[in-house]
Each structure stands twice: as C-alpha cells, then as structure tokens.
Structure 1
Amino acid sequence: MSYPNYPNQPYPPQPPQPNPSNTLSIVGIVLGCVAFLFCPPLFGIAGIVCGVIANSKGERLAKTAIGVSAAGLIVGVILGIVAFQGVYGV
C-alpha cells in the first residue's frame, strides 16, 4: 500500500502564547497602589507604563495593572487636591 505524496505544506502561524511570568504586571499593580498616597503622577504613570509593556509581552495581569495604576493616579491626585485645600484653605 502506498500513500499519496503530499507537498510540504507550511503550518499556519500559531498565536503568541501568554507569558507565564507576571513580573511587570505585579510591579505595575504595586506602583498603582503606592500612587494612592505617595506622589501619584510619578508612581501612577510608572505603573501604567509597566502595565502597557506587560500587555505587549502578553502577561495575564497586564490589564489589571493598567487599571489599578490609572485609578491610583486619578484618586491620588484628587486626594492630594482635597488635602491641599484642607490644609491651606484655598
């Protein structure tokens, strides 16, 4: 019994596998949490950048890191404004 001779057919490209490491995502989440109380522009933006880089690498928690960092930035700035108005009565 002979088998038909098929030409070499390339395999279709596989979708990128998610990165099992969540290091940058966790760093982004921690920076977002720190941004609630300490220097929101610095830590919030750094957390968003870490989350975006983690998203481009396919990390599972990247979207969570972006959300937590954005919330830390926004809420931290609002808390800073409220505290500034309370202290200085502006």
Structure 2
Amino acid sequence: MTSPHDPPDGAPRTPPDARPRAGDQMLSIIGFACAAMALLFIPILFGLAGVVLGIVGHTRGEPLGRWAATAAGAAMLIGTLLGIILTTT
C-alpha cells in the first residue's frame, strides 16, 4: 500500500539523514556575509542581522548556522570597538 507522499516507482529515494547541499545553507551563508559587513559598515545592524540569520539557519538544520551566528556576534563586537577607536582618535 502506498501513500500519496511516496515517490513514484523507480524514483530515487533520499535517505532521511542526507547531508544538506550548499544551496540548503543559504541563511548561514548570508549570515557570514553579514558578519563580514559588520566589521566595516554599521556593525549593530549587520551583526544583529547575521546573528538572527545564523540562529534561524541553525533551527532549520543548517550545520553552519551556529558558526554564522557566533561569527556575526564577534564581528559586531569587533566592528563596534573599531568604530569607537577610530572616531575617538
């Protein structure tokens, strides 16, 4: 007995633990890009956006999501410190 969600006969079945492709990690990749932008431009905005994208990516199962959120948070702090140092001197 087949259900409507089963693939048709002869169609390849994907295992449930298949590794995600690079396109499946789009939120994490954008989170890393926001982390890089946070070092140079508006660290609070881009850093926070990168943290949110990394967390959302992690909750959706992206393996790089946690790292993107961490990198964006660190870049936000470093970018803010650089901005303070460069504007006070």
Tell me the TM-score range normalised by the shorter chain: 0.7 to 0.9
**Deviation readout 1:16-52 (Å, 9 max, x if unpaired):** 8577111000000110111001000000000000001
Letter aligned with residue 26 of structure 1? I
Residue 39 in 1 paired to residue 42 in 2?
Answer: yes
Partner of residue 65 from structure 2, selected from 59, 62, 65: 62
Partner of residue 75 from structure 2, selected from 33, 56, 72: 72
Higher helix share: 2
Letter aligned with residue 30 of structure 1? A
Identity %: 37
Partner of residue 87 from structure 2, selected from 84, 87, 90: 84
Note the residue ranges of structure 2 that are not aligned, 5 or more in a row: 1-15
Structure 2 counterpart of 1:49: 52
Letter aligned with residue 44 of structure 1? G
Q: CA RMSD in A?
A: 1.6
